[in-house]
């Protein structure tokens, strides 16, 4: 199973390091959503109010769990709660599993799943959101997402 190290700093930023990558993730674990709700992403479950939309990070593959939290931290300022729920559902679909032994195998697994989604019959709007998410992860230098693949989606 993938090991990662989560550190909450005095500056209220979370830094996540992975045993299968030299890259780190840094994000605000206490963002304020578009509608003014303070979120606590240090927990495994949150509820987006006023709709009471449950987001359970434990349902996301452990390798991508902190990626999802970082995305929610960033996106909650711009996207509606229903959009965030749909983004979370996307993360739930991605499965890396324990068979990926190193960073390149994890990248290939994620790339394959993105390709399948982008060539499926999902809506153009959903594909646009997926491109936006993937681009953000690449721009922020998150581990396990290949820059080269970005030109293909």
Print the domain residue range for 72: 4-150
Flag whether pLDDT at 72 surpasses 90: yes
Distance in angstroms (rounded) separating the CA atoms of residues 48 and 33: 9
Q: Which residue has the tokens 């890259």?
A: 23
> Tokens for 25?
């993730």
Could you tell me which residue, 51 or 23, shows the higher pLDDT? Answer: 51
Taking phi over 0 as left and psi of -120 to 50 as alpha, with beta for the rest, 20 belongs to alpha
> Tokens for 63?
């390798």
Q: Which residue has the tokens 């299968």?
A: 20
Task: Say if residues 31 and 41 touch (Cβ distance below 8 Å).
Answer: yes
Q: How many domains does the chain have?
A: 1
pTM for the predicted model, two decimal places: 0.83
Distance in angstroms (rounded) separating the CA atoms of residues 137 and 25: 10
pLDDT-derived band at 18 (thresholds 50, 70, 90) equals low
pLDDT of residue 123: 92
């Amino acid at each position: 199973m993938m090991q990662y190290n989560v550190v909450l700093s005095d500056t209220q930023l979370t830094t996540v390091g992975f045993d299968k990558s030299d890259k780190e993730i840094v994000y605000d674990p206490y963002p304020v959503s578009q509608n003014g709700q303070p979120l606590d992403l240090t927990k495994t479950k949150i509820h987006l109010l006023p709709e009471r939309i449950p987001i359970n990070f434990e349902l996301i593959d452990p390798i991508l769990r902190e990626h999802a939290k970082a995305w929610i931290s960033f996106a909650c300022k711009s996207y509606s709660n229903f959009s965030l729920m749909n983004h979370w559902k996307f993360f739930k679909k991605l499965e890396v599993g324990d068979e990926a032994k190193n960073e390149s195998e994890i990248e290939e697994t994620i790339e394959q799943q993105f390709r399948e989604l982008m060539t499926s019959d999902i809506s153009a709007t959903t594909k646009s959101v997926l491109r936006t998410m993937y681009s953000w992860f690449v721009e922020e230098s998150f581990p396990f997402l290949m820059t080269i693949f970005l030109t293909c989606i």
